[in-house]
Amino acid sequence: MSTQTHDIWNAPPGIWSIQTFIEKIPKVELHLHIEGSLEPELMFTLAERNNIKIPYSSVEDVRAAYQFTDLQSFLDVYYLGMSVLLHEQDFYDLTMAYFTKVAAENVKHVELFFDPQGHTARGVKFDVVINGISKAMKMAETTLGVTSYLIMSFLRHLSEEDAFATLAESVTHRDKIIGVGLDSSEVGNPPEKFQRVFAEAKKLGMRLVAHAGEEGPPEYIFQALDLLTVERIDHGVRSIENDDLIARLVENKVCLTVCPLSNEKLKVFPQMKDHPMKRILDRGICANINSDDPAYFGGYMNANYLSASRALGMTPKHLVLLTHHAIEGCFLPREGKDKLIALLTDFLTKQRLVPQSDVLEGLN
């Protein structure tokens, strides 16, 4: 076998395939709603198992309902899908199905969201939800080699008092939860609405993230940073509209967890070619790619990488930066991050690829 190395940054198409590169590069996912990984097939299985009636007669009917026009039309279907999740085994099956898929896509670490309020409001106990998810997380690490952390999200269309009640329920499961987040309908529910509950979560030692700047304006990102004191911004794509915000994100190395297929599906941008992902990276922002709600938006990690890369003309340099940013933006301790960086470096070495020095600056 030849030991010749290839400079992928300038290589002709015959030397490397962008799809193969994406499939093989180790990845980290930081923006995944576990309820949003409920595939139609599993929805039907759980509905039958739990004797739940859903307004669809076939898998094809479910997929036809996935023609969203905005965030709210998606959420209507999303919450309906939740109705089939009742028992600990349901949450375990849901979570293991997700991990099985992403392990095959070479995802090595995941920080996943769950929405306890969407379940407790239906009479499903908090313990049932988190125990099923956390058992699957442990099994995924043991059997699939995928590590993970769990983030509890507050539903922003509900009151802060409701969020406080959920935070109180979570205390006995503190060992299973790395942090808190904020999701659901953004417009009309600014981050400032949840300032007190985020302050309380911070006192409990939880890491803080929040959805902001998806459908909401750049001002919501400022609020998330200033009032909620978050460490990461989920989505954050509208930061590209404000130069002062861009400068702040770059200076403070704030990570944006961007979800290209989700943004396209929900019409945040008309088409993928209009997405600012490449411009965000080129401005020096620590952004990465994620799948958000992959069962609803048409793809897991590899599909998001591939769609954005092809539409925006992103280079291998961008793809390596995306993974590096995800590693640096995750909540693993330094030792864990260094192990992932070693995997990334080993991948490039085994592919006999010559990276530009500025791409992997700071990598071990």
Nearest to 34 by CA among 100, 106, 101, 113: 113
Outline where DSSP puts E strands in the chain.
27-33, 107-114, 147-155, 179-183, 207-212, 232-235, 255-258, 286-289
What single-letter amino acid sits at 362?
Answer: G
The answer to whether the beta carbons of residues 199 and 222 sit under 8 Å apart is: no
Phi, psi of 104 (to 5 degrees): -70, -20
CA 112 to chain centre: 7
For residue 214, indicate whether it is catalytic: yes
The answer to whether the beta carbons of residues 155 and 115 sit under 8 Å apart is: yes
Rounded Cα distance between 20 and 17, Å, is 5
Name the maximum alpha-carbon separation found in the chain: 64
Matching residue, tokens 């209009």 = 274
Catalytic residue among 29, 39, 214, 328: 214
Query: Which residues does the annotation mark as catalytic?
Result: 214
